[in-house]
Structure 1
Amino acid sequence: MPQNFDYIIIGSGLAGLQLAYKLSEDPFFGKSQIAIIDPSSKETNDKTWCFWEKGTGKWDEIITKSWDQAKFISTEANIDLELNPYSYKMLRAIDFYNFVRSALKGKSNFHFILDEVGEIDEINSLAFGKKDNYAATHFFDSRIGSDYLENSKSTKIFQHFKGLRITTTNPVFDEAIFTMMDFRLKFPESTSFTYVLPLSEREALIEYTFFTPFLIEEPVYDTYLQTYIKDILKIEDHEIIETEKGVIPMTDYNFHEASGPKVTKIGTAGSWVKGSTGYSFKHTEKKTAQLVQNIKSGKNPKDGLLNARSRWYDAIFLDVLHRNNELGEQVFTKFYSNNTPQEIFKYLDEETNILEELKIMFSIYHPEFVRSFFRKLFQ
């Protein structure tokens, strides 16, 4: 006999745990039996999330560090960014995992299960795991397959990176200012840059990041990271205390179309990741809140989760970057030179009106955007 629940969340990463936490906060679901199924117990820091928001946020007690100032650097510009009223916040994944697990531990209706789910049978409301089978009224599934890689109508860029958390013997960093993008050290003919999050005068997370249609071998990251540390930061003596790496799909592929009557795709699998940036944390927070409200209102859980106009803008941007990857530095330089951080954050949060969006579009204009517009229009 399968184990029975009202709701099953498949995957205990960002989307799965944010959804579980949101459900746990609402008395409406106090008697619902909810399972979170994942083959991993999430006991290591496998990534770092960053996001911006105004004022106090719900995760502030576990934030590693926040900044009110930033800088953008390219071969043509060195721009100081005053973020107020926003703050840019850093959160280590392990702190998030532990916080949510601890909050749910005292809830008798939440159940963490270590298992790997394979097929979901929507007709019989069953999920088949390697260790057991599970029945539920509805499934929230954060898994993505590889089918999107073969889809010819969508554009696929990969945000891939390696980060080193280092300590230095001497004070080197200005801990009040982080570096959003530094294009001074670039892989040939690519959109690639360094991202620096200073944690103190002697400690920082330094990531070398690509927005490219291709992936590279790990030694390439190492070469560029060490070159940046030595030649640009002028650091001779440092110790690596933590390493992280990842690949985030930046795409206009419609992952969410895999949802069904009894399965709602969430996270990357629900098209929740911002296609043009790879940012996901705050988008996930907003979408889980909307999803929970949909359930309470008797609507389809996925109703109203996606902004079609913003997805269209992202599709055009991704097409430009895919076909002309070397233009990334120029486009981002225009983006940060011609718009305030407040305008940028509002746009990326998908809170702008059409006039505000047109201003952004004109600020980064390049003929390739027109070509991509028509390619996507008639695709």
Structure 2
Amino acid sequence: MPDEYDYIIAGGGCAGLSLLQALIRAGVAEGARILVVDRDAKEANDRTWCFWEAGEGPFESIVHKEWAQLDFHSDHLSRRLDIAPYRYKLIRGIDFYRHCHAEASRMPGIQFLQESVSEVFTDRQGAGVRAGGRTYRARYVFSSLYERPEPRPGKHWLLQHFTGWVIETEAPAFDPAVATFMDFRTDQQEGTTFFYVLPLSPTRALVEYTLFTGELLSTAAYEEALGGYIRERLGIGAYTVAEREFGIIPMTNHRFPARNGNVVYIGTAGGQTKASSGYTFRNVQKHSAALAESLKKEGHPFAVDATARRFGFYDSVLLDILAHRSLEGADIFTDLFRGNRAASVFRFLDNESALHQELRLISTLPTLPFSRAALRQLRP
């Protein structure tokens, strides 16, 4: 395996493979030498990605299931959301990995290396990585590897952690046309806590238990909560667990750097995880497309998002409220969906709304707690 490449992607998960696909679609990968380094072979169905999207996206061919109708529940509101023009989509990890590797196999210049990356560096000659006792160099390195930053005043670090079961029943128990987007009708003692239910067929569904808190729970606590919800809220007594998943997503207003020299950060390391909700997949796709387009047109991957500061401030304010628990997350999302069309909320959470739309949406939330949180975030 040669040591010199045009581009190296450190991390072959969602962010790394999404960028690789964007480079292929933009024509940047044609004739280029690209190395993707990851410690895992990515041969297991280890996660699912859910996101809302209007129209067809770059991974439409591998969308496992989608819904045009979503239900929202809390102690104060139960509503079927009108999400048009969006549809809520689910992609399985294994389908994503296989699709990306199959597309890459058609490009002779793309290689994969299964090793742990011990170092990512930049210097006068470009950038590189060290993995498996060897050094690999490139013009640019795209890295999704990150470490938790040191605590700083005004910076919050919550965890979105979730356990999901794909359950199967003998008799029909689900409506495949309707998914439960958020169900807050559960104990909120730990912090923002909800379930969602994604029916894959009348007898099969992904049921997930999600929390926004500072600490993880025990395995037994996750499983007890899931079992109780399935039994008591869904009214299902007999079922089998066909698949299990567990995940942790950082929710932070820490400003991750866009790059360091010729190392460009992607995924969570590049600030693409939505601090206030944890949603990442759509942000990763937009960021990947922008980097590929910048390489194609400008010759460098230093794309700049002009809206990042404004939406970053909104995220910081909401994260501040969740961290201090000056309002409960269940109440915030209830107010958002009671006072606004779901499409408006989705557009805002996708960082695609206009200022006047944002002011309208913010006006439906409690003024005093959000004003205090905003002042805390504006304070040096």
TM range (shorter): over 0.9
> Which residue number in structure 2 is paired with residue 42 of structure 1?
42
Distance 1:2 1:133, change over 3 A: farther
Whether the aligned pair in 2 keeps the contact of 1:164 and 1:207 (CA below 8 Å) is yes
Following the alignment from structure 1 to structure 2, what is the Cα–Cα distance between the partners of residues 189 and 284? 29
CA drift of 1:66 comes to: 0.3
Distance 1:103 1:309, change over 3 A: same
Query: SS of the residue aligned with 1:237?
Result: coil
> Which residue number in structure 1 is paired with residue 4 of structure 2?
4
Q: Is 2:377 the partner of 1:376?
A: yes
> Which residue number in structure 1 is paired with residue 144 of structure 2?
142
CA drift of 1:341 comes to: 1.2
Unaligned runs of 5+ in 1: none
Whether the aligned pair in 2 keeps the contact of 1:51 and 1:279 (CA below 8 Å) is yes
Query: SS of the residue aligned with 1:6?
Result: strand
Q: Is 2:165 the partner of 1:200?
A: no
> Which residue number in structure 2 is paired with residue 351 of structure 1?
352
Following the alignment from structure 2 to structure 1, what is the Cα–Cα distance between the partners of residues 317 and 141? 32
CA drift of 1:299 comes to: 6.2
Distance 1:149 1:186, change over 3 A: farther
Whether the aligned pair in 2 keeps the contact of 1:189 and 1:325 (CA below 8 Å) is no
Whether the aligned pair in 2 keeps the contact of 1:163 and 1:245 (CA below 8 Å) is yes
> Which residue number in structure 2 is paired with residue 16 of structure 1?
16
> Which residue number in structure 1 is paired with residue 130 of structure 2?
128
> Which residue number in structure 2 is paired with residue 166 of structure 1?
167
Share of identical aligned residues, percent? Answer: 35
Following the alignment from structure 2 to structure 1, what is the Cα–Cα distance between the partners of residues 28 and 227? 52
Q: Summarize the alignment of residues 230-309 of structure 1 with structure 2, pairs less than 5 Å apart.
A: 230-256=231-257, 259-298=259-298, 301-305=301-305, 307-309=308-310
Whether the aligned pair in 2 keeps the contact of 1:191 and 1:325 (CA below 8 Å) is no
Q: Is 2:104 the partner of 1:104?
A: yes
> Which residue number in structure 2 is paired with residue 213 of structure 1?
214
CA drift of 1:184 comes to: 1.0
Distance 1:149 1:225, change over 3 A: farther
Query: SS of the residue aligned with 2:346?
Result: helix
Structure 2: which amino acid aligns with 1:174? D
CA drift of 1:185 comes to: 1.4
Q: TM-score, normalised by structure 1?
A: 0.96
Following the alignment from structure 2 to structure 1, what is the Cα–Cα distance between the partners of residues 136 and 161? 35
Q: CA RMSD in A?
A: 1.6
Give runs of ≥4 in structure 1 deviating > 4 Å.
Answer: none
Whether the aligned pair in 1 keeps the contact of 2:326 and 2:369 (CA below 8 Å) is no
Larger CA deviation: 56-65 vs 4-13? 56-65
Whether the aligned pair in 2 keeps the contact of 1:163 and 1:243 (CA below 8 Å) is yes
Following the alignment from structure 2 to structure 1, what is the Cα–Cα distance between the partners of residues 265 and 190? 35
CA drift of 1:187 comes to: 4.0
- Deviations along 1:331-352, whole A, 9 cap, x unmatched? 1100111111111111111111
Query: SS of the residue aligned with 1:316?
Result: helix
Whether the aligned pair in 1 keeps the contact of 2:15 and 2:284 (CA below 8 Å) is yes
Structure 1: which amino acid aligns with 2:314? Y
Structure 2: which amino acid aligns with 1:138? Y
Structure 2: which amino acid aligns with 1:116? S
> Which residue number in structure 2 is paired with residue 59 of structure 1?
59
> Which residue number in structure 2 is paired with residue 191 of structure 1?
192
Distance 1:80 1:4, change over 3 A: same
Following the alignment from structure 1 to structure 2, what is the Cα–Cα distance between the partners of residues 326 and 247? 23
Query: SS of the residue aligned with 2:91?
Result: strand
Larger CA deviation: 27-36 vs 176-185? 27-36
Aligned residues: 377
Query: SS of the residue aligned with 1:89?
Result: strand
Query: SS of the residue aligned with 2:323?
Result: helix
Structure 2: which amino acid aligns with 1:52? W
Following the alignment from structure 2 to structure 1, what is the Cα–Cα distance between the partners of residues 250 and 326? 15
Unaligned runs of 5+ in 2: none
> Which residue number in structure 2 is paired with residue 223 of structure 1?
224
CA drift of 1:132 comes to: 2.1
Following the alignment from structure 1 to structure 2, what is the Cα–Cα distance between the partners of residues 35 and 3? 9
Structure 1: which amino acid aligns with 2:286? K
CA drift of 1:297 comes to: 2.7
Query: SS of the residue aligned with 1:359?
Result: helix
- Deviations along 1:116-146, whole A, 9 cap, x unmatched? 1112231253321124210111100000112
Q: TM-score, normalised by structure 2?
A: 0.95
> Which residue number in structure 2 is paired with residue 75 of structure 1?
75
Following the alignment from structure 2 to structure 1, what is the Cα–Cα distance between the partners of residues 343 and 128? 46
Whether the aligned pair in 2 keeps the contact of 1:43 and 1:94 (CA below 8 Å) is yes
Following the alignment from structure 1 to structure 2, what is the Cα–Cα distance between the partners of residues 25 and 311? 29
